[in-house]
Amino acid sequence: MLSNVPGAPGLETARQAGIEAVTIDHRPFGRDRAAHEAELHSALVARNVRLVCLAGYMRMLTPFFVGVWSNRLMNIHPSLLPSYPGLHTHARALQSGSKIHGCTVHWVTEGMDEGPPIAQAAVPVLPGDTEETLGARVLAQEHLLYPLALKLAAGGVVAFPPDTAALRNPEADTKPHRG
Active site residues: 77
3-state DSSP call for residue 10? helix
At residue 134, the 3 state secondary structure works out as helix
C-alpha distances (whole Å) from 16 to each of 19, 21, 85, 179 are: 7, 10, 33, 53
- Which residue, 113, 112, 129, 111, is CA-closest to 103? 113
Q: Coil, strand, or helix at residue 93? A: helix
Max CA-CA distance within the chain? Answer: 61
Cα-Cα-Cα-Cα torsion 55, 26, 73, 34, nearest 10 degrees, comes to 160
Alpha carbon distance 173, 30 (integer Å): 46
